[in-house]
Each structure stands twice: as structure tokens, then as C-alpha cells.
Amino acid sequence: MDNTESIWRLVDAKRGGFEALSDRVWGMPELAYTETRSCAEHTAMLREQGFRVTEKVAGIPTAVMGEAGEGGPVIAILGEYDALPGLSQEAGVAEPRPLPGPGFGHGCGHNLLGSASLLAATAVKEWLAENKLPGRVRYYGCPAEEGGAAKGFMVRDGAFKDVDVAISWHPAAFAAVQEAVSLANTRIDFSFVGRASHAAAAPHLGRSALDAVELMNVGVNYMREHMPSDARIHYAYLDAGGVAPNVVQPTAKVRYLIRARDLVELRRLIERVRKVADGAALMTETKVSSKVVSGVSNLLGNAPLERAMQNNLDRLGPPPFDDLDRARAAEFQATLTEEDIAASWRRIGLPMRKGVALCDVVVPLEVRGAPMMGSTDVGDVSWVVPTVQARGSTYAIGTPGHSWQLTAQGKLPAAHKGMVHVAKVMAGTAVDCLRDPALIEAAKADLAARTAANPYEPVLSPDVQPPLDMSVTAA
């Protein structure tokens, strides 16, 4: 039995407790920065497995880190456990059926994300002890991936400064190495202040902050034609100035989410949006101020680590789904459109095969899909530590991200099999690094080459604090 097989055996030996952990976190969905119970579950599991625990990493109440082993290289495995608003759903039911309560749900599968990463870290801990090798493994329980950019704040606080390699994953339809395509982004709140007055009796005395927001949005919407085609801008009103149409709105606030291919392009776009905001204030004789809420960097790939991870995937093969898993997945596929399913195949870069409900292949490394236009706070980690991520196959092909169908599939046997499978992929990659210092050196050289021309300049300036109250406004 070689070392890789022994690490997979260690994952299997521990799986039961971590499937149960995932199910418990699924049952207590909590929004960004309020994951108190979920984080407590992960902290308790770290202690139970014998990790040395650091709570409140970077001063964030729901961030936790556990370390095991001595000396040697440091391998970080990153997990998440935040849920989403509006995606409550009964488990295993293939029709929309929200549960009573605040309406939160694990519509991005982060219950699995955290548990599989902690399972992988635990198996690596056991492997280090069995083999009496120097080396440390850490599990980072990272909150608020959904819009809170917690990892960016953790990077800024130095939480990863002595880490040699970072490994993570995300639930997906297909088993693959994650392509390093994601957008840098930032959330900025623009607040306008004008002057209230009677909208009929003294309109000339009022200066409308609501007008200013509307003009800002018009300006930005005209700008769209003249920005890079892979950039994205979205906005939401946080304060429309009140409910009385006969009062000129003295305040108004809009949250902008600006995304671009990389940090350089993002900075350019932020400058232009700020000019539009200033223009709107000038036109309406209001005052504008702004506050950066969060920001993440684009992801950097790492070729040596991607090859190592693919090698683990190729030797493992696809997750061991059975006919019952496929039948359950087909029930969920029946709620999707043909377009949903085609998009899932296109995203991964494989020709569509009709009637295939669950992943039955390992996607080759050279297959390139349609880029994913989202963002992730793993991006910031990838600029300071060589980072690699897997896609773990945990749900029916075609399931849209952030959907009730995704929440519903989060506790099925297929989800458990997918999370154990990806834990093996991550643990195997970690063991490859621990056994081969040359792999870590190659990964570091790859990162140095990617950042040589554009060193890391985080979107988050030193004065921006983690938006711990963001879920209060979101919910």
C-alpha cells in the first residue's frame, strides 16, 4: 500500500463523523459573519480530533483555525460554513418547499465545504502521526464567503503568512481541478445627502438624494458600453430616502458591486464609478460619501499544484455514485431546464451527454470550460500562498448555484459521497506536498512568476474593517 492509498484509507475511517457534521451545519443555516453555531460545531470537532485551536482568527468572531503536527512545511486546508438568505428548503424534496423560520439555506453547499476540508485536514493529521514525519496541517474555518470577504481580512491580518501551500474546494456538478478563473470585486456603499422640503409647496428648496442615486445609476448604465466585456457592475438600494413621495428625499444610499478580471482593471473601474457618483452629486447639489464594505482579488492558478491534484483525481476516478443516487439526481434534473443542464456541461468544457444525472468522469486538466464569472475570497489567499482548489461532485448536473435545488441536495447520500471523495483529493494533494519538498518549491516559484509584474495590492485598504453587521442589512 503506498502512502496515497493510506491517506485515502484514513479519510474513509473518519468519514462518518464528518458527514454528520455537514448535516448538522446544513440544519442550522447562518448568514455571513453570524455563523456562531456552525463555527462552534467546527471548533468542537477540531478539539475532538486533537488539533491545537485558535479562535477568533483576525479578530473575527466566527473564524477558527486548528493546527496539528510539528515543524516542517505548513499545509492549510480552507473550509467555509456560511449560508444564504431566501434559500430555505426541505432536504431531499424535488419541489420548492421552504422550511419554517427565517428562510436561510445552504444553497451553495458550504455545509459540505467546511466538513470535507476538516475531514481532509484530520486525515492528514493522522497520516503525519502514523508516518512520524515533520510537517503541520491546518484547518482554517473561514466565515462569510458570501459577500463578506473574510479570507481577505484574514490575509491582511497575517493568518497565512507562514503557510506553504493552501488547498480548498467547492461543491460542483463535476469532479475536477478548479480552473483559476474568477473576478476581483469590491462592494462600495455610496451615501448621498441632500435637503428635505415639501415636494409640492417648496420643491425649489429641496435637493433630492434619491435623484442623485438615480442619476448615478443612469451614468453607470451608460458606462457599461465602454467597459471591458468581462467586467460586471450591479447595485442595490439600501436607502431610497423614505416612504413619503411628498417629502424631497434628504438621504439615499446605494451599494455597488464592481467586478473585473484582475486588480488592475478593478481599480480603473472603481475610479470611473466614483467619478459618476461625483457627477451625480454635482448635478443634484447633494453631497456624496463612500465606504468600501468588502473586496476580493481574482484567483491565481498554480500549475504544479494543479497537476498534483489532477493526479490524485485520476487515480481515484469519479465518486462512487450508485443507481439510487442517479435516480434521486434525475428527480432534481427534472425540475431544471434544458438550458440549465447544457450550461453545466459548457461550464466544465465537456460535450453534453443527455440522461446523465451525476458526474461519471474525472474532467481532464487540459479541458477548459466557459469561465465562471463569479468571485471568491480564496482569491486573496492565492496571491500570498500557492493555492489549489478542487471541484467536488456533490449534486445533479445542471443544478444552478444558489438555488433551492442545491439546498435540497445537501444531505443526500450522493452529497456525502462527493464530500468524502473530494476530501481524499485534497488530503492526497496535501500528502504529496508533505512528501516532496520539490513540489512546494515549484509551487512557490510558480506564484512568484505570476506576481512578478503585478505584486499583491489588496482591494481592502487598512482602514476597512470586516463588515460584521452585513447580515443585519441583508436579512
Closest CA to 378 of 367, 387, 365: 387
Q: Minimum CB separation from Zn ion for residue 372, in Å?
A: 11
At 197, give phi and psi (nearest 5°). Answer: -165, 170
Cβ atoms 297, 382 nearer than 8 A: yes
| Closer of 149 and 273 to Zn ion (Cβ) | 149
- Specify whether the backbone of 256 is left (phi greater than 0), alpha (psi in -120 to 50) or beta: beta
Which C-beta is closer to Zn ion: that of 172 or that of 263?
172
The number of residues that bind Zn ion (CB under 5 A) is 1
State the nearest-atom distance from the C-beta of 445 to Zn ion, in Å: 30
Please state the closest distance from residue 461 (CB atom) to Zn ion, in A. Answer: 26
Minimum distance, C-beta of residue 276 to Zn ion, in the bound complex (Å): 30
Tell me the Ramachandran region of residue 393: left when phi exceeds 0, alpha when psi lies from -120 to 50, beta otherwise. beta
Residue 145 C-beta: closest distance to Zn ion, Å? 6
Nearer to Zn ion, 108 or 442 (CB): 108
Choices 102-110, 134-142, 153-161, 192-200 (CB under 5 A): range interacting with Zn ion = 102-110
Residue 208 vs 376, nearer CB to Zn ion: 376
Find the part of the chain contacting Zn ion (CB under 5 A) among 51-59, 106-114, 284-292, 447-455.
106-114
159 binds Zn ion (CB under 5 A): no
Nearer to Zn ion, 110 or 416 (CB): 110
CB 82 within 8 Å of CB 30: yes
| Distance in angstroms (rounded) separating the CA atoms of residues 259 and 234 | 9
Measured in residues, the chain has a length of 475
Minimal distance, residue 170 CB to Zn ion, in Å: 6
Residue nearer to Zn ion on the CB measure, 108 or 269: 108
Amino acid type, 171: P
> Nearer Cβ to Zn ion, position 108 or 434?
108
Contacts of 171 (CB under 8 A, 6+ apart): 108, 109, 112, 113, 391, 392, 394, 395, 406, 415, 418, 419
Site for Zn ion in 190-219 (CB under 5 A): none
- Least Cα distance to 307 among 443, 189, 404 occurs for 443
Closer of 108 and 425 to Zn ion (Cβ): 108
Query: In this complex, which beta carbon is closest to Zn ion, that of residue 108 or of residue 308?
Result: 108
Site for Zn ion in 214-243 (CB under 5 A): none
Q: Name residues whose C-beta falls within 8 Å of residue 267's C-beta, 6 or more positions apart in sequence.
A: none
One of 10, 91, 94, 108 touching Zn ion (CB under 5 A): 108
Task: Give the whole-angstrom CA distance, residue 377 versus residue 294.
Answer: 10
Q: Which stretch binds Zn ion (CB under 5 A): 101-109, 202-210, 356-364, 389-397?
A: 101-109
Distance CA 52, CA 115 (A): 18
* Binding window for Zn ion (CB under 5 A); candidates: 108-116, 190-198, 258-266, 308-316: 108-116
Least separation in angstroms between CB 182 and Zn ion: 11
Of 100-108, 187-195, 209-217, 431-439: span binding Zn ion (CB under 5 A): 100-108
Instruction: Please state the closest distance from residue 109 (CB atom) to Zn ion, in A.
Output: 7
CB closer to Zn ion out of 108 and 316: 108
| Cβ at position 79, least distance to Zn ion in Å | 11
Q: Nearest distance from residue 134's CB to Zn ion, in Å?
A: 34
Nearer to Zn ion, 84 or 231 (CB): 84
Q: How far is the CB of 325 from Zn ion (least distance, A)?
A: 22
What residue number has its CB nearest to Zn ion?
108
Listed ranges 107-115, 135-143, 181-189, 249-257: which one lies at the site for Zn ion (CB under 5 A): 107-115
The binding site for Zn ion (CB under 5 A) comprises 108
